[in-house]
Amino acid sequence: MLETCQLLFDKACHSYDDVQRAAYKFIDRCSVVVSVGDSQIVCDVELDEKCTQSVDLISQQIRKEVLDQTLRSRIRSETEDVRNLILAHAFSRTGLANSPE
Amino acid sequence: MSRFLARTAYAPELPDYELLPFNFARLNEQETVATNLAGEMLVLPNATVDALVNHTLSIDDPAYVSLRARHFLRLPTDKSPIDLLALKVRTRYARLEHFTNLHIFVVSLRCEHSCPYCQVSRQSEDRESFDMTPEIADRALDLVFRSPSQSLKIEFQGGEPLLNFEMIKYVVEQAKARNLVARRDLAFVIATNLAPITQEMLEFCREHDILISTSLDGPADLHNKNRPRPGKDSWERAINGITLARQTLGVDRVSALMTTTQSSLPRVKDIIDIYLELGFTSIFLRPLSPYGFALKTKSFAAYNTDRWLDFYKSGLDYILEINRAGIAFAEDYASLILTKMLTSNDPGYVDLTNPAGIAIGAIVFNYDGGVFASDESRMLAEMGDNTLRLGDVQTSSYEDIYLSDTLLEALESSFTLSVPMCSDCAFEPFCGADPVYHHATMKDFTGRKPESEFCRRNMAIFKHLLRLMSSDKTTAAIFQRWANRC
What are the sequence ranges of the domains in chain A? 4-92
| Nearest-by-CA chain A residue for B26 | A68
* The pairing of beta strand B22-26 with beta strand B31-36: antiparallel
Q: Which residues of B97-132 are buried (b: 16+ CB within 10 A; e: fewer)?
A: eeebbbbbbbbbbbbbbebbbbbbebbebeeeebbb
Provide the β-strand partners of residue B186.
B152
Q: Is the dihedral of CA B328, B331, B336, B337 positive or negative?
A: negative
Chain B residues within 8 Å of chain A (Cβ atoms): 18-24, 26, 37, 49-50, 53, 82-83, 85-87, 89-90, 93, 96-97, 420-421, 424, 448, 450-451
**Mutation for testing the A interface, residue in B16, B17, B18, B19 having most A CBs under 10 Å:** B19
Of B24, B86, B420, Cβ closest to residue A89: B86
A98 band by pLDDT with thresholds 50, 70 and 90:
low
Q: Who's near B112: CB < 8 A, 6+ residues apart?
A: B125, B160, B163, B195, B196, B229, B230
Answer whether B85 sits within 8 Å of A26, measured CB to CB.
no
Compute the distance between CA of residue B7 and CA of residue B28 in angstroms, rounded to an integer: 32
Give contacts of B96 with chain A, Cβ < 8 Å: 94, 96
Answer whether A86 sits within 8 Å of B21, measured CB to CB.
yes
- Residue B214 near residue B193 (C-beta atoms within 8 A): yes
Q: Terminal CA-to-CA distance of chain B, rounded, Å?
A: 58
Give contacts of A93 with chain B, Cβ < 8 Å: 90
| Residue B298 distance to chain A (closest CA, Å) | 23
Residues B231, B249, B271, B427: what is their CA dihedral angle, to the nearest 10 degrees? -130
Reported pTM: 0.89
Give contacts of B78 with chain A, Cβ < 8 Å: none
Give contacts of A26 with chain B, Cβ < 8 Å: 450
CA geometry: angle B188, B193, B199, nearest 5 deg: 70
Compute the distance between CA of residue B483 and CA of residue B476 in angstroms, rounded to an integer: 10
List chain B pLDDT tens, one digit each, 486 residues.
Answer: 578 887 777 776 767 899 999 999 999 999 999 999 899 999 999 999 999 999 999 988 999 999 999 999 999 888 889 899 999 988 888 888 888 999 999 999 999 898 887 767 566 655 668 999 999 999 999 999 999 999 999 999 999 999 999 999 999 999 999 999 999 999 999 999 999 999 999 999 999 999 999 999 999 999 999 999 999 999 999 999 999 999 999 999 999 999 999 999 999 999 999 999 999 999 999 988 777 655 666 666 668 899 999 999 999 999 999 999 999 999 999 999 999 999 988 888 989 999 999 999 999 999 999 999 999 999 899 888 999 999 999 999 999 999 999 999 999 889 998 888 999 999 999 999 999 999 998 889 999 899 999 999 999 999 999 999 998 999 999 999 999 985
Answer whether A75 sits within 8 Å of B93, measured CB to CB.
no
DSSP letter, residue A70: H
Answer whether B451 sits within 8 Å of A72, measured CB to CB.
no
- Residue B257 near residue B215 (C-beta atoms within 8 A): yes
Neighbours of B58 (CB within 10 A): 10
Residues B9, B10, B11, B13: what is their CA dihedral angle, to the nearest 10 degrees? 70
- Residue B255 near residue B192 (C-beta atoms within 8 A): no
- Residue B105 near residue B162 (C-beta atoms within 8 A): no
**Under CATH, which number does the domain A4-92 receive?**
3.30.70
**Mutation for testing the B interface, residue in A53, A62, A81, A86 having most B CBs under 10 Å:** A86
Answer whether A90 sits within 8 Å of B90, measured CB to CB.
yes
Compute the distance between CA of residue A82 and CA of residue B268 in angstroms, rounded to an integer: 47
Give contacts of B450 with chain A, Cβ < 8 Å: 24-28
| Residue B447 distance to chain A (closest CA, Å) | 12
| Nearest-by-CA chain A residue for B22 | A75
Compute the distance between CA of residue B233 and CA of residue B224 in angstroms, rounded to an integer: 7
pLDDT value, residue A101: 44
Compute the distance between CA of residue B227 and CA of residue B215 in angstroms, rounded to an integer: 9
Q: Who's near B110: CB < 8 A, 6+ residues apart?
A: B122, B123, B124, B125, B126, B127, B128, B130, B131, B158, B159, B160, B163, B164
Residues B240, B242, B244, B246: what is their CA dihedral angle, to the nearest 10 degrees? -160
Answer whether B18 sits within 8 Å of A89, measured CB to CB.
no
| Residue A39 distance to chain B (closest CA, Å) | 24
Nearest to B313 by CA among B340, B333, B338, B289: B333
Answer whether A71 sits within 8 Å of B53, measured CB to CB.
yes
Of B37, B448, B450, Cβ closest to residue A83: B37
The number of C-beta contacts closer than 8 angstroms across A and B is: 73
Q: SS3 string of chain B?
A: CCCCCCHHHHCCCCCCCEECCEEEEECCCCEEEEEECCCCEEEEEHHHHHHHHCCCCCCCCCCHHHHHHCCCEECCCCCHHHHHHHHHHHHHCHHHHHCCCEEEEECECECCCCCCCCCCCCECCCCHHHECCHHHHHHHHHHHCCCCCCEEEEEEECCCHHHHHHHHHHHHHHHHHHHHHHCCEEEEEEEECCCCCCHHHHHHHHHCCEEEEEECCCCHHHHHHHCCCCCCCHHHHHHHHHHHHHHHHCHHHEEEECCCCHHHHHHHHHHHHHHHHCCCCEECCCCCCCCHHHHHCCCHHHCCHHHHHHHHHHHHHHHHHHHHCCCCCEEHHHHHHHHHHHCCCCCCCHHHCCCCCECCCEEEECCCCEEECCHHHHHHHHCCCCCCEEEECCCCCHHHHHCCHHHHHHHHHCCHHHCCCCCCCCCHHHCCCCHHHHHHHHCCCCCCHHHCHHHHHHHHHHHHHHHHHHHCHHHHHHHHHHHCCC
Q: Chain-centre distance of CA A16, in angstroms?
A: 8
**Mutation for testing the B interface, residue in A75, A89, A94 having most B CBs under 10 Å:** A75
Task: Report the complex ipTM.
Answer: 0.74
Answer whether B22 sits within 8 Å of A27, measured CB to CB.
no
CA geometry: angle B61, B66, B72, nearest 5 deg: 100
Of B19, B93, B451, Cβ closest to residue A78: B19
A89 band by pLDDT with thresholds 50, 70 and 90:
confident
- pLDDT tens figures, A15-69: 999 999 999 999 999 999 999 999 999 999 999 999 999 999 999 999 999 999 9
Q: Which amino acid is at B94?
A: A
Compute the distance between CA of residue B237 and CA of residue B196 in angstroms, rounded to an integer: 8
Nearest to B105 by CA among B157, B159, B141: B157
